[in-house]
A = this chain, B = another copy of it.
Amino acid sequence: MTKPLKLDPDRLFPADERTRSITRALYREVAGLPIISPHGHTDPKWFATDENWSNATELLLSPDHYLYRMLYSQGVALDDLCVPSKAGMPGTDPRKAWRTFAENIHLFRGTPSSMWLGHVFAEVFGFDVALDVSTADLYYDRINEKLASDAFKPRALFDRFGIEFLATTEGPQDDLAPHHTIRDSGWKGRVVTTYRPDAVIDVEHEQFAGAMKVFAEKTGQDVWSWDGYLAAHRKRRADFRAAGATATDHGHPTAQTANLGYDEAERLFRTILSDSWTPEDAELFRAQMLTEMAAMSAEDGMVMQIHPGSFRNHNGGLFASHGRDKGADIPTRTDYVHALKPLLDRFGTSTTLSIILFTLDETVYARELAPLAGHYPCLKLGPSWWFHDSPEGMRRFREQVTETAGFYNTVGFNDDTRAFLSIPARHDVARRIDCGFLGQLVAEGRLLDWEAFELAHELTNGLVRKAYKIDQQAPAPIAAAA
């Protein structure tokens, strides 16, 4: 017997009726506002080529580590889910992988994935029965059928979703051609890149050597000299701005920054390029480069995003067989107060620098991040993120940050996703939770009605526009870029 799928219109609102009715009114105000997605990992080629996606498994399951990590944790092999290994896509029939997913759908109960999936199935594909083992084929066939239609091409969905701004993430070694194709195509959708230079900054990154070579080629600079290396970053940042970028993104193991003199930095750079660097050298170089990137941001106005604290590729065996970004990154304890001081000593009072801090360690919300952002003019706080982009995680963020940093030192919501179809679902969850938080403040007499309405708009669209300089960025002339 199939179970019905029906989204509760009041879902995620606080249960208490007094609070719920305020929340409902707030949500009505912002539910239909455009989606601004300033930080994510969708593939720009989708929007450049606008080709149809292949099938449900390859679009929804294979690339989404939120989904397959949970199945893997319960003993399902990644091969059985069509997750590509270093050897390429496994031979598994995608329909069979979809059935395996459907059989295990109960594992997601109570997780944000369950909210997102329900929204995608009901709102994007129009299902009114739930996914389970009995409906797996029905789902698989109907999704594939829709994906083959014009209405489900990437640009059509982008427009249907009401997306106003979508940032992808590329490295200096990556090709910006898809972004140029998008801009040249005449399509009005605003898809921009973000400058993420980790692979040419982190000598412990397995792609470092290769990325440096491409970095040299694409910039024409001698990236093996300190001056040339910095010049190459400047050149590439300009290329990225030409491709619409308003921001940079830095995913370091820690938040450590450094503020070395020129000679010391130059010497460190030479060590990094030699064969004799230590892990401490690698850490110090990453630290110094955060400060160098801040210096460039103070010059060129690119907003700087720092998200430290992930122990990448924790599962050694899986990294060997499947490579990075396979759901095996685990958060670690992270310090900001000591780590950021060198950078802040140099730029803390800058009026042109803007840094958005993220964390995977929630203990720092009230202790470190809110006090830092509630003091330093250059600091803002990114939303609860990655493992914490859940209803509970978002509540904890607001409850622990607002008291000291207020709302105006935060920057709205980031979906941070590779799963394009889940973007409306994720923004919807965030709007519901934010309205619920505001509703509670009103119900407890801590905020007036009209203040809550103003804030609902700010949290949905106002703050993100300002923080990412979305209205400020002049559409630059398209430079000849590699």
Interface residues of A (CB under 8 A from B): 3, 7-8, 10-19, 69-70, 72-75, 106-112, 114-115, 311, 314-318, 327-328, 330-333, 335, 337-338, 341, 344-345, 348-349, 351, 360-363, 366-368, 370-377, 379, 387-388, 390-393, 399-400, 402-409, 440-441, 443-448, 450-451, 454-455
Q: Which of B16, B69, B110, B372 is close to A403, meaning CB atoms less than 8 Å apart?
A: B110
Q: Can you pick out 18 interface pairs between chain A and chain B where the beta carbons lie within 8 Å of each other? A: A12-B446, A70-B374, A73-B376, A73-B377, A106-B408, A107-B408, A109-B406, A110-B403, A110-B446, A110-B447, A114-B446, A314-B375, A315-B375, A316-B348, A317-B348, A332-B367, A388-B403, A391-B446
Complex contacts, A332 vs chain B, CB 8 Å: 335, 337-338, 367-368
Contacts of A400 in B (CB 8 A): 392
**For residue A13, which residue of chain B has the nearest CB?**
B444
Q: Check if A409 sits within 8 Å of B367, measured CB to CB.
A: no
Contact B408 A373 (CB under 8 A): no
Chain B residues contacting A377 (CB-CB under 8 Å) are: 72-75
A342 to chain B, nearest CB (A): 10
Complex contacts, A441 vs chain B, CB 8 Å: 110
Complex contact B403–A393 (CB within 8 A): yes
Determine whether the beta carbon of B69 is less than 8 Å from that of A15: no
Query: B330 contacts A443, CB within 8 Å?
Result: no
Q: Is there an interface contact between B440 and A15, defined as CB atoms closer than 8 Å? A: yes
Contacts of A331 in B (CB 8 A): 337, 367-368, 371
How far apart are A446's CB and chain B's nearest CB, in angstroms? 7
A74 cross-chain contacts in B, Cβ below 8 A = 377, 408-409
- Contact residue among B72, B363, B448 (Cβ-Cβ distance under 8 Å from A3): B448
Whether A407 contacts B110 by the Cβ 8 Å rule is yes
Closest 8 CB pairs of A and B: A8-B445, A11-B445, A390-B403, A15-B443, A110-B402, A331-B367, A15-B19, A15-B16
Known contacts A393-B366, A446-B110; A73 and B375 CB within 8 A of each other: yes
Minimum CB–CB distance for A433 against chain B, Å:
10
Q: Which residues from chain B contact A367 at a C-beta distance below 8 Å?
A: 331-333, 360-363, 387
Q: A75–B379 Cα gap in the complex (Å)?
A: 11
Within 8 Å by CB of A447, from B10, B109, B349, lies: B109
- Bound form: Cα–Cα A23–B129 in Å: 26
A62 to B15, CA, bound (A): 42
Task: Please determine whether B333 and A315 come into contact, CB atoms closer than 8 angstroms.
Answer: no
Given A15-B18, A393-B366, A403-B390, CB of A316 within 8 Å of CB of B345: yes
Q: How far is the CA of A454 from the CA of B107 in the complex (A)?
A: 12
A70 to B367, CA, bound (A): 16
